[in-house]
Amino acid sequence: MTKPVFRFAPSPNGRLHLGHAYSALLNADFAQRFDGRLLLRIEDIDTTRCRPEFEEAIYKDLAWLGLAWEEPVRRQSEHFDDYHAAFRALKGRGVVYPCFCSRKEIAEAVACREAEAKTGAAQPWPRDPDGASLYPGTCRDLSAGEIEQRIAAGEPHAWRLDGAALHELLPGPHGYCRFDRDGREEEVAADPWRWGDAVIVRKDTPTSYHLSVVVDDALQGVTHVVRGQDLEAATDLHILLQALLGLPTPLYHHHGLVLDPEGDKLAKSRQSQALAELREAGATPQSIRQRLGF
Ligand code: GLU
């Protein structure tokens, strides 16, 4: 029988904190208990925010925690061709369209709709699970001629999933299987439509988190995805992409997040205390494990 495959997939855009340590240790714990393999993947598609020194620090922090992973480590920035091939497949299925809108244009279009809502003319504008306004569809119906012309002129653009086309192609119901700490599996319903016309290829990098993660999990044979609850809603979109691309759907476990004393999620952007700082302040791998309940 083939072994279960787990992965820890940090982004080297800051230093790892206790939340990352928890996720990494939980993956390792599952891999050990399920007689599985543990992979490490560096999610560095954002070439402006990711830095080599943060990547080096990831290896150092994880090794310090006592974790071992298989080599070679997959670095997403070395695989843009794979993501492009997946994008071409989506394009071939007619489920993506280019979007030339700037953030400002989207915000203005949404503000217009929201102003209408205040006068009772329309419903409040919906938001995606990350709190961003759903795309108002400005570029959804551009003519083929206009698209060709704007792309030929070098106008920067993202590519979005066409929710309406997808609704027809894959009406659902959608769902996937999740597993708990003891390996018990359970079907859960998914609602990919709450993401609206999600960006699948960004303007600033030739892929997106959603596309790369789905392609890599499949290419690396990942069978069990263990990641934080903050990514639970994204799974709804990932299973839709897997169906579109003919990729297998792994089993999922979304773990609780490590919170700071104020009850907020730890985040690089909030300057949460890094593992390296805890180490310098005298923490040991054992004390970290204990603190995190391992
Ligand atoms: N790279 C993502 C992060 O650092 C995790 C992706 C995943 O586990 O699917 O939050």
pLDDT digits (tens, 9 = 90+) for 91-115: 999 999 999 999 999 999 999 888 8
Which class would CATH give 1-78+259-294?
alpha beta
- Ligand 1 centroid–CA 54 distance in Å is 15
- Domain positions in the chain are 1-78+259-294
Token pair recorded at residue 223: 């069978």
Helices (H), the chain: 18-33, 52-65, 80-92, 103-118, 144-152, 163-169, 209-219, 232-245, 275-280, 285-291
Kindly report the pTM of this predicted structure. Answer: 0.95
39, 74 Cβ separation under 8 angstroms: yes
- Ligand 1 centroid–CA 50 distance in Å is 13
- Residue at token pair 């495959």: 5
* Cα–Cα dist 177/187, whole Å: 4
Characterize 51-85 residue by residue with b for buried, 16 or more Cβ atoms within 10 angstroms of its Cβ, and e for exposed.
Answer: eeebbebbeebbebbebebeeeebbbbebbebbee
At residue 99, the pLDDT reads: 98
- Which residue puts its alpha carbon closest to atom 4 of ligand 1? 10
At residue 122, the pLDDT reads: 67
90, 96 Cβ separation under 8 angstroms: yes
pLDDT tens figures, 25-67: 999 999 999 999 999 999 999 999 999 999 999 999 999 999 9
Give residue ranges with CB within 6 A of ligand 1: 9-11, 43, 213, 227, 231
At residue 124, the pLDDT reads: 81
- Which residue puts its alpha carbon closest to atom 7 of ligand 1? 9
pLDDT tens figures, 205-258: 999 999 999 999 999 999 999 999 999 999 999 999 999 999 999 999 999 999
- Ligand 1 centroid–CA 189 distance in Å is 22
Residues 6 or more apart whose CB falls under 8 angstroms from that of 285 comprise 64, 65, 66
| CA R_g for the chain | 21
Q: Checking DSSP bridges between strand 158-161 and strand 96-99, what pairing results, if any?
A: antiparallel
Q: Tally Cβ neighbours within 10 Å of residue 247.
A: 17
